[in-house]
Chains A and B, each alone.
Chain A
Amino acid sequence: MTKVKAQINLLRTLEELDLILKDMASPAYKKIGFKSPKPTLDFVKTAEKERAHIADQVEPILLQKYERIMKRYGGRVVVQVINGFCGGCFIKLPSEYITRSSTDITNCPNCGRFLYWVK
């Protein structure tokens, strides 16, 4: 796996964990009562620990950018490019971004979200 792909995958996992943590914190989710199989294992703490573990592996500058975008939009930080459009703000991306994507971590020039392509 290339370094770019590995970092994008980490950022995607980070976003998934952030969304899970956000849901877990809501009263509606707590009311449902999902439980951990081990009584000693706290659900939220496990998620926070895993989040910290993933965040440690992300390059600091990317992590900083991730946190900023998450704070601004509340989700949809790492988005897929669909038919040349940003999956976050749906702007048509310049074609050079597709070439750059294999060697660099690319962000949408309009909304700043992290972009990934599925080949």
Chain B
Amino acid sequence: MTLSSLLKPERINLNLKSKKKNDVLKELIGLIKTGSDAQMLLDTIHTREELGSTGIGKGVGIPHCRSLLIDKLEIAVGRSKNGVDFNAIDKKPVHFLFLIIAPPQDPGNQYLIILGKVAMICQELIKKKRYLEPQTPEELINLIKSLEEKL
């Protein structure tokens, strides 16, 4: 399973409006679920974030969790030009976010494999701020696809 095959244009927001962590998480979760499900997902994400921020530094955040509300691996991507205070390990604002949600059990543990791939792709996207290049969700998917092929 490739990362790019899991990305859907309707789950990519290249112009996130929120500036605070909680609000940006809500914005991202809203790309996957709405209503009471969205609130429950937010609570689950918070459980994970309270153990330590998933802001891995250099402007990237990878919030993730497992949830019963999801039947298959779901990914939402967001970009904030102004940056979000995400309590990242380097204390710098986060500009690029991957939200990954998986069911409690998934065949072949794809969740962890994809999580690892996202971390590697992010290293590439950080270089020369390449995450600022795409102008449309489709362009971002193509960029990730090309980076994935080089891994």
Instruction: List residues of A whose CB falls within 8 A of some B CB.
Output: 13, 15-17, 19-20, 23, 26, 28-29, 31-37, 41, 43, 46-47, 50, 74-76, 78-80, 87, 118
Contact = CB atoms under 8 A, between A and B. Distances in A.
B115 A43 contact: no
A80 B68 CA distance: 8
B82 interface: no
A20 B52 contact: no
A33 B51 contact: no
Interface of B: 36-37, 40, 44, 47-48, 50-54, 56, 62, 65-66, 68-69, 87, 89, 91, 104-105, 109, 111-113, 115-116, 119
Given A16-B47, A20-B66, A37-B87, 16 more contacts: A16-B44, A20-B47, A28-B112, A28-B113, A29-B115, A34-B52, A34-B62, A36-B52, A37-B52, A41-B52, A43-B52, A75-B104, A76-B68, A76-B105, A79-B68, A80-B69
B36 A118 contact: yes
B52 A19 contact: no
23 contacts: A16-B65, A16-B66, A17-B47, A19-B66, A20-B51, A23-B112, A29-B112, A32-B115, A34-B54, A34-B62, A35-B52, A35-B89, A36-B51, A36-B52, A36-B89, A46-B51, A50-B50, A50-B51, A76-B68, A76-B104, A78-B68, A79-B68, A80-B69
A91 B112 CA distance: 30
Q: Nearest 10 CB-CB pairs, A to B?
A: A75-B104, A28-B112, A36-B52, A19-B66, A32-B119, A16-B47, A75-B105, A118-B36, A76-B104, A47-B51
A41 B63 CA distance: 19
Contacts, number: 72
B143 to A, nearest CB: 21
Contacts of A43: 51-52
B18 to A, nearest CB: 21
Contacts of B113: 28
A87 B37 CA distance: 14
